[in-house]
A and B are shown apart, each in its own frame.
Chain A
């Protein structure tokens, strides 16, 4: 037993690195009280964790008696989460909001690491208890981070709403987990699958359990109708945290949902063509997912049209993107999952980019209102062009990366002959164009009302901008490595 635990330590080395980083950040903060130092420690820790993660490339094994699964799938998502965390730390360094002298930045960085730790654990969890605990670790850290700029009333409101919704949905999820445990006698998702396969379960009870657990996941990925917290929290939280929530937290939620669905509810003895799956009888979750997906993207896109605050607009846009990605889950096949994986990396670059521009603009102007963007095209040309590219990519137009993301999603749907869902998705991206255009219409087509002075940005800001911009463009024209990596990373431990 002890030997097994000791030997399994290897599998959580990236997580151990994160834990040490978190402690080091706290100590560095209390000992030296220098913000840059804390950020440096955190950045170093994230980097170390990333390096350790790379060593797990190609591994596929269970760890700690099926508590965690270390497989290409979790490595991929943990990679996305770590890279996002690094970008968020970089953003934070130049955020005026965060570097307010009245705030204690040490805790901020430590909490970012704690949240990252929770999310990386989410990506690997293969036990319902582990899933719940890592979800809570992530949530608790994010509640505090959302309310971090505590002098801003909106931030406090955001935090409170987040806590209440989070508590409700994690309660629902816990209830679902307990029903599932009652039905199958296990918390290990592989064992649950085995029981469901061999003995079956009461259909109604299984449906209730499944829907309740989905509520928990739905809350994390902000799928309609569990999305109500999203706009308020995204608007109220500091931009850096909004960016973090919209990418990393969503990635973690998706990875957990995907693993749960695939391991628990897929017939593991199905002998059809490779890469296609069959549902186990009793719980046809695809229909639920189709409804969720259509509702999520349609509502997200339609409501975004009326938004005046760019952060809130991007919040609704991120809801819509969750809807697009849910389409990939409906396909029930490796190609759908691969499409989601591809989408996530692209979404990471373009969405972080858009939020970074929002942050830079609010650094200089103190506002996130859409009218602030008027005349920005002449005041900050580079920034505006970059923003336009990010937005075009979010819409999904070639030659940007966003197009490739959508292409693979639609390809998976069409290959599975789900034509009507693909048409709904495609029409949704037309709607999304309308509100993305509102932003660059203001930047280029409208004259500014206030100051016309050019905005100057630090070199470091421009470098970060290019770090996000270049992949957004390059992946649109040459996406071979990304696709290969994603196709490789679809593999999960223990399932076909």
Chain B
């Protein structure tokens, strides 16, 4: 247990510092609220409409699909580095992996997930 005490102290100090600073400026700082100051900041302009807008679902689709296939590369790198050591077995295995992903890729293509209009 004893070995954890420094970690605990560190956590306590970090949390304490944050709390102290936040309360200090609340207590000490001068407050002169005006309408301008309280309004939402938007690059120095007055905000014209609500910030809670709907985005087209397509953005999300592309984002999700990007992440999905991006991960593929993470697996490809270690395989490429050890390509010789893994030999045929590694090659076949990676091909299977890619084929599975390709099936998914083909699926989203056919379903039109990447069509923008």
A residues with a Cβ closer than 8 A to B are 2, 6, 19, 23, 26-27, 30
Query: Is there a chain A Cβ closer than 8 Å to B100's Cβ?
Result: yes
Query: Is there a chain A Cβ closer than 8 Å to B69's Cβ?
Result: no
Interchain CA distance A23-B101 in the complex, whole Å: 10
CB-based contact A27/B106 at 8 Å: yes
Residues in chain B near residue A30, CB distance under 8 A: 106-107, 110-111
Residues in chain A near residue B100, CB distance under 8 A: 19, 23
CB-based contact A6/B107 at 8 Å: no
CB-based contact A23/B89 at 8 Å: no
Give the nearest-CB partner of B89 in chain A.
A2
CB-based contact A26/B89 at 8 Å: no
Interchain CA distance A6-B96 in the complex, whole Å: 14
- Nearest-neighbour CB distance to chain B for A183, whole angstroms, equals 14
Query: Is there a chain A Cβ closer than 8 Å to B38's Cβ?
Result: no
Can you identify 16 A-B contacts, CB atoms within 8 angstroms?
A2-B86, A2-B89, A6-B89, A19-B100, A23-B100, A23-B103, A26-B103, A26-B104, A26-B107, A27-B103, A27-B106, A27-B107, A30-B106, A30-B107, A30-B110, A30-B111
Summed over the interface, the residue pairs from A and B with CB atoms below 8 Å come to a total of 16
Q: Which secondary structure dominates chain B's binding surface? A: helix
Residues in chain B near residue A26, CB distance under 8 A: 103-104, 107
Residues in chain B near residue A19, CB distance under 8 A: 100
Give the nearest-CB partner of A3 in chain B.
B89
Q: Mark B85-117, 1 if CB is under 8 A from A, else 0.
A: 010010000000000100110110011000000
Give the nearest-CB partner of A104 in chain B.
B111
Top-6 shortest CB links A-B:
A30-B110, A23-B103, A2-B89, A26-B107, A30-B107, A26-B103
Q: Which secondary structure dominates chain A's binding surface? A: helix
- Nearest-neighbour CB distance to chain B for A67, whole angstroms, equals 16
Give the nearest-CB partner of B88 in chain A.
A2
- Nearest-neighbour CB distance to chain B for A23, whole angstroms, equals 5
Interchain CA distance A345-B104 in the complex, whole Å: 35
Interchain CA distance A2-B104 in the complex, whole Å: 27
Residues in chain B near residue A2, CB distance under 8 A: 86, 89
- Nearest-neighbour CB distance to chain B for A319, whole angstroms, equals 35
- Nearest-neighbour CB distance to chain A for B16, whole angstroms, equals 26
- Nearest-neighbour CB distance to chain A for B108, whole angstroms, equals 10
A26-B104, A26-B107, A30-B106 given; 13 more Cβ-contact pairs under 8 Å = A2-B86, A2-B89, A6-B89, A19-B100, A23-B100, A23-B103, A26-B103, A27-B103, A27-B106, A27-B107, A30-B107, A30-B110, A30-B111
Residues in chain A near residue B111, CB distance under 8 A: 30
- Nearest-neighbour CB distance to chain B for A185, whole angstroms, equals 16
Residues in chain A near residue B103, CB distance under 8 A: 23, 26-27
Residues in chain A near residue B86, CB distance under 8 A: 2
- Nearest-neighbour CB distance to chain A for B33, whole angstroms, equals 39
Interchain CA distance A19-B101 in the complex, whole Å: 13
Interchain CA distance A2-B111 in the complex, whole Å: 38
Give the nearest-CB partner of B87 in chain A.
A2
Give the nearest-CB partner of B107 in chain A.
A26
Give the nearest-CB partner of A5 in chain B.
B89
Interchain CA distance A6-B111 in the complex, whole Å: 35
Residues in chain A near residue B104, CB distance under 8 A: 26
- Nearest-neighbour CB distance to chain A for B79, whole angstroms, equals 13
Interchain CA distance A26-B111 in the complex, whole Å: 11
Give the nearest-CB partner of B111 in chain A.
A30
Q: Mark B21-45, 1 if CB is under 8 A from A, else 0.
A: 0000000000000000000000000
Interchain CA distance A2-B86 in the complex, whole Å: 8
Interchain CA distance A23-B100 in the complex, whole Å: 7
Give the nearest-CB partner of B102 in chain A.
A23
Give the nearest-CB partner of B110 in chain A.
A30
Residues in chain A near residue B110, CB distance under 8 A: 30
Interchain CA distance A15-B104 in the complex, whole Å: 19
Interchain CA distance A27-B104 in the complex, whole Å: 9
Interchain CA distance A19-B103 in the complex, whole Å: 12
Interface centre among B100, B107, B111 (most CB of A within 10 A): B107
Interchain CA distance A2-B85 in the complex, whole Å: 11
- Nearest-neighbour CB distance to chain B for A106, whole angstroms, equals 9
Interchain CA distance A172-B60 in the complex, whole Å: 29
